Amino acid sequence: MKNITLSNKTDTLIKVILFLISPFVSFLYSLRNIKSKSSYIVFFLFCVFFGMALTIPENYSGDASVYQKRFEYITNYDNTKFLSMLQNYSEFDDGEKDIYFKTTAFIVSRISGNYHTLFCVFAAIFAFFMLKSLRFLTREQEFDNSFIPFLLVTIFILSNFIFNINGVRFWTASWIGIYSVFQIFINNNKKYFLLACVTPLVHVSFFAFVIILIVGYFTKQYEKFWIFMLFISFILSNIMVNLVSSFGDYLPSFMSNTVSIYTDVDYVKQREEDLVLYARIFSFLRQLMINIVVLLFIRNRKTISSPTTKNLYFFLIIFTTFVNFVMPIPSFGGRFLALSLPLIAYIWVIAFKNTMQYRPILYLFIVAFSYHFFLQIRGFFKLTEIDFYIFNPFYIINKYLLI
């Protein structure tokens, strides 16, 4: 025991030294022992420094450039204008769909007009919920440092990597939502319904998520019904654009306008035409493999013996049914699909880690999502300069926050 303690202290010391040399190098080293508390601290600080060093290239077409311009505009807000914005949202005004970005941007703008500071704050909030969610996986007894658990952690994190502060609203809401799901279905902690209800304030589309979460919690005992609906949803998903569009007529104006944009026939057609052929193929493969893995879980549901894991499995069936129905809606179904990955990773570690016969399916699953993972990694490198990888944290702070 004494040697183990010494080893842990030595390991932590190495991480500290490496972090003082380069946060990126310390991050890579910490991957060798994902479960440790010191590794989680390094992961969090790494994400914060990524947000700090995030640099928007000239002519960049991603969401980050839009948020940068909006932040510059919000720096001119006074308290009256900000309170007016909050009032418009509380009255379901057509102009305000959610308030997370503007509220955070306004608060940060009182301290600094530097967009690096803004994305540093975004990264801290994003990383907090991402790592809180990951802890559910790595704390389990079945999780170790072998290849398959490491592979599943990679799936878990790359489903929604820190790069996604580029599109901060939806993807931050995603980790808050995943954390709420784990708390509710694994810890049976119902108070996290309240946290889940915060997600629509972060991104308006999460009103749908909250509804699915509530429905999933109170109908999880109807397993056969939801298995039937899963099959139906995969077959009939293409008709849902018109149904969702009709449903939008009964929503408040700020939501109905969003629904009408997402389900507009011309918009849907244009988004499909904008996708190159291989992107369409990978989009189909992602949906297909999600359903294959869920069907694998259904077929082997007796293997999922833990009551808490079984609760998560029931919710996964319900959530996948929802995703199947909304997949044809651009900027909606495909993004919600990514929320399935942490749930799948958790169930696989608990119930199927040592099942050799299903590993080819896991490998095919990774192939299907390889383009999604590639976009995450490519985006990460695209929004960082070489300084982030080779210089110490003091240099990074000085360059991006102080100068």
What pLDDT, on a 0 to 100 scale, did the predictor assign at position 253?
57
Residue 263 CB coordination number (10 Å) = 23
Contact 342, 156 (CB under 8 A): yes
340-to-42, 157, 184, 262, 280 alpha-carbon distances in Å? 26, 12, 16, 21, 19
b/e code 24-48 from CB counts within 10 Å (16+ = b): bbbbebbeeebbbebbbbbbbbbbb
* Amino acid found at 289: M
Per-residue pLDDT band for 251 (boundaries 50, 70, 90) equals low
- pTM here? 0.91
Q: Is residue 258's pLDDT more than 80?
A: no
Tokens of 52: 């700090």
b/e code 205-228 from CB counts within 10 Å (16+ = b): bbbbbbebbeebbeebeebeebbe
Domain boundaries, the chain: 1-55+388-403, 145-383
21-80 pLDDT, tens digit per residue, is 999 999 999 999 899 999 999 999 999 999 999 999 988 888 999 999 999 999 999 999
Per-residue pLDDT band for 4 (boundaries 50, 70, 90) equals very low
Q: Is the alpha carbon torsion for 139, 145, 146, 152 positive or negative?
A: positive
pLDDT above 90 covers a percentage of the chain that reads 70
What pLDDT, on a 0 to 100 scale, did the predictor assign at position 8?
84
| Sequential DSSP letters for 364-375 | HHHHHTHHHHHH
Per-residue pLDDT band for 388 (boundaries 50, 70, 90) equals very high
What pLDDT, on a 0 to 100 scale, did the predictor assign at position 90?
77
Cβ neighbours of residue 91 under 8 Å, at least 6 residues apart?
Answer: none
In whole angstroms, what separates CA 309 from the centre of its chain?
A: 20
305-to-38, 314, 344, 356, 370 alpha-carbon distances in Å? 32, 13, 15, 18, 30
Identify which has the larger pLDDT, 145 or 120.
120
322-334 pLDDT, tens digit per residue, is 998 888 776 677 8
Mean predicted confidence (pLDDT) in 310-315? 95
Tokens of 14: 């190495």
Provide Rg for the chain, Cα atoms.
Answer: 22
What pLDDT, on a 0 to 100 scale, did the predictor assign at position 74?
94
In whole angstroms, what separates CA 234 from the centre of its chain?
A: 23
Tokens of 234: 């995969």
DSSP state of 22: -
Q: Is residue 382's pLDDT more than 60?
A: yes
Q: Is the alpha carbon torsion for 219, 221, 224, 230 positive or negative?
A: positive
Q: Is residue 284's pLDDT more than 90?
A: no
Cβ neighbours of residue 121 under 8 Å, at least 6 residues apart?
Answer: 51, 104, 108
126-150 pLDDT, tens digit per residue, is 999 999 999 999 999 889 988 999 9
CA-based max dimension of the chain: 67
